[in-house]
Amino acid sequence: MYQTNYHRPSSVQEAVKLIGGAAEGKYLAGGMTLIATMKQRLAAPSDLVDLRHIAELKGITVNGRSVRIGAATTHHDVASSAELEAVCPAICALASHIGDPHVRHMGTIGGSIANNDPAADYPAAMLALDATIVTNSRQIAAADFFTGLFETALDDGEIITAITFDAPAKAAYQKFPNPASRYAMAGVFVARRDNGEVRVAVTGAGSNGVFRHQGMEAALAGNWSPDAVGNISVDASDLLTDLHASAAYRAKLIKVMTKRAVAAA
């Protein structure tokens, strides 16, 4: 790892100012991705601005069905929130299957979505839940936020402060984890609203990152049951092929994960 300078602000304002004054600064949340990247010398920030000690970035608020999760809230805190469990158990279950307990004690929702790993779990939830990504300067719809592999709509120095969404009537997430890394080879988050609208978001499989599958959404809006997607074909041409699975195999996994998710919701 190259040399770096560590800073510990106690407010968002101070954090933004510190990044602004740094040659090549980076925010540090749980560090579960960033520290590893720095060890490999794939990142060499001149300055690290730690977000773990900023109270306004932490915590979960549930008001009726409206949910706000602070960006620096850990996977562990999402997984074990009774308030969240009462309105949207799917996101708690998702968080409880990220990595291992030690990773969940450090890793944060803000770090996960800012990183936008094509195999990360939270991006699928954000798209399917029609979440809003709140930053220090604006609000971004999830649909506009995830722009490609490890790419987001965030500007330099922009900081995610929270994510918000309205809890759907039903939701579930199912992933087929890579047996070694536990990252999704295909993960599907389904959500159904009271008005019958359905969203199906897929992670781990798209060659351009997380995406929605309109064909399955239409089928499930007509008939909310695992059988409804039986005749839908998933186009493999935009899916990833790698060491772990071919695009055709991932296309099959997406259908199976969707069926399982609908059955579990």
Partner 1 sequence: MAKITMTVNGRQVSGTCDDRTLLVHFIRENLGLTGTHVGCETSQCGACVIHMDGLSVKSCSILAVQAAGSSITTIEGLAKDGELHPVQAAFKAHHGLQCGFCTPGMVMTAVDMIARHGSNLDEATVRAELEGNICRCTGYHNIVKAILAAAGEMGGVRQAAE
Ligand X SMILES: Cc1cc2nc3c(=O)[nH]c(=O)nc-3n(C[C@H](O)[C@H](O)[C@H](O)COP(=O)(O)OP(=O)(O)OC[C@H]3O[C@@H](n4cnc5c(N)ncnc54)[C@H](O)[C@@H]3O)c2cc1C
Please give the residue ranges that form the binding site for partner 1 (CB under 8 A): 1-6, 8, 28, 31-32, 35-36, 38-39, 48, 50, 52, 76, 99-103, 105-106, 182
Site for ligand X in 6-45 (CB under 6 A): 26-34
Closest CB to partner 1 among 46 and 147? 46
Shortest Å distance, C-beta 259 to ligand X: 21
Taking CB under 6 A as the criterion, the residue among 112, 132, 174, 258 binding ligand X is 112
SS3 104: helix
Q: Which helix (H) or strand (E) holds 93?
A: helix 89-96
Instruction: Decide: is 47 part of the binding site for ligand X (CB under 6 A).
Output: no
Beta bridge partners of 171: 191
Taking CB under 6 A as the criterion, the residue among 98, 125, 167, 239 binding ligand X is 98
Closest CB to ligand X among 206 and 226? 206
Instruction: Decide: is 209 part of the binding site for ligand X (CB under 6 A).
Output: no
Shortest Å distance, C-beta 20 to partner 1: 19
**For residue 204, which of 171, 229, 175, 236 has the smallest C-alpha distance?**
175
Rounded to whole angstroms, how far apart are CA atoms 198 and 72?
A: 29
Shortest Å distance, C-beta 47 to partner 1: 9
Rounded to whole angstroms, how far apart are CA atoms 163 and 146?
A: 14
Closest CB to ligand X among 79 and 200? 79
Q: CB under 6 A: which stretch of 59-67, 81-89, 110-118, 190-198 binds ligand X?
A: 110-118
Instruction: Decide: is 183 part of the binding site for ligand X (CB under 6 A).
Output: yes
Is the Cβ–Cβ distance between 31 and 102 less than 8 Å?
no
Q: How many CA atoms lie within 13 A of 211 on its CB side?
A: 18
Q: Which does 6 bind (CB under 5 to 8 A by kind): partner 1, ligand X, none?
A: partner 1
Give the other-Cβ count within 10 Å of 256's Cβ.
15
3-state secondary structure 179-229: CCCCCEEEEEEEEECCCCCEEEEEECCECCCCEECHHHHHHHHHCCCHHHH
Name the site residues for ligand X (rule: CB under 6 A): 26-34, 51, 71, 98-99, 103, 106-108, 110-112, 114-115, 117, 120-122, 154, 159-160, 182-183
